[in-house]
Amino acid sequence: MPGTFEPIPGGGAAVALDDVEISIIRSLAVQLLELIGPGPAEDAPGDPLAELFAEGPSEPPADPVLKRLFPDAYCDPEETSASPKEAEERRAYSSEFRRFTENDLRAGKRDNALAVIRSLDALTAAGEGGAVLRLSPEESRRWLGALNDLRLAIGARLEIADEDDTDLLYRLPDEDPRKPMVMAYLWLGGLQETLVATLMP
């Protein structure tokens, strides 16, 4: 079980993690939370409807990681065949779509990252020297979402655009400063793949 998720009776998944692995995943999840930022209700904590009726941003984020996590719905940056009018229409549709959906997307990603942090905190509070993390089916889905977001974030920082870029990462020399981030990216990919397998019927 070390380093891979396995299904457990009754649904859900389990993985053995040592203290270093727990620390790495928790740190990455905290960084992801900080990057995503607080919800709109943070400005009005006494108003329970603030987040429900708050409109999201209409422009894509400037940060390349956030751009990867919250891509435009109708605009393809690789698309060059669209006429100027079509491109303008797509930008308008994307802007409108983003305005009404991004807050919910951010909230979902925050919830997933928080679920990871809380489950790891509960694990470390129960003992030392690593432990077996056991997740319910719902927790497994939240972990899967968070692992996907973490890999997207790291992939954006590494400027991974396609499979060829991933192949190049395997051949990086040990002294390359990107090597630790690459190792985290590949390791999280293995966790994600085995967690997907546990959720398949």
Tokens 């919910």, residue located: 104
Note whether residue 89 is domain-resident.
no
pLDDT at 157 over 60: yes
The pLDDT of residue 1 is 40
Note whether residue 171 is domain-resident.
yes
pLDDT at 41 over 60: no
Of 2-11, 41-50, 125-134, the least confident: 41-50
Note whether residue 63 is domain-resident.
no
Note whether residue 51 is domain-resident.
no
The pLDDT of residue 123 is 87
Q: Which amino acid is at 23?
A: S
When divided into structural domains, the chain yields a total of 1
- Quick one: average pLDDT of 109-135? 87
Tell me which of 199 and 84 has the higher pLDDT. 199
**Which residues are within 8 A (CB) of 40 and not within 5 positions of it... i.e. 6 or more apart?**
50, 51, 54, 56, 103
pLDDT at 50 over 60: no
173-201 pLDDT per residue, tens: 889 898 899 999 999 999 999 999 998 87
Note whether residue 138 is domain-resident.
yes
8 Å CB contact between 13 and 199: yes
The pLDDT of residue 151 is 95
Note whether residue 119 is domain-resident.
yes
Domain that holds residue 122: 6-46+104-199
Of residues 160, 152, 159, 157, the one with CA closest to residue 192: 152
The pLDDT of residue 95 is 75
pLDDT at 118 over 90: yes
Note whether residue 142 is domain-resident.
yes
User: CA quadruple 15, 19, 22, 24: dihedral positive or negative?
Assistant: negative
pLDDT at 10 over 80: yes
- Quick one: average pLDDT of 67-81? 72
Residue 1, token pair as written in the block: 């079980």
Note whether residue 168 is domain-resident.
yes
Of 39-48, 109-118, 120-129, the least confident: 39-48
Residue 162, token pair as written in the block: 């396609």
Rounded to the nearest 5°, which phi and psi values hold at 91? Answer: -65, -40
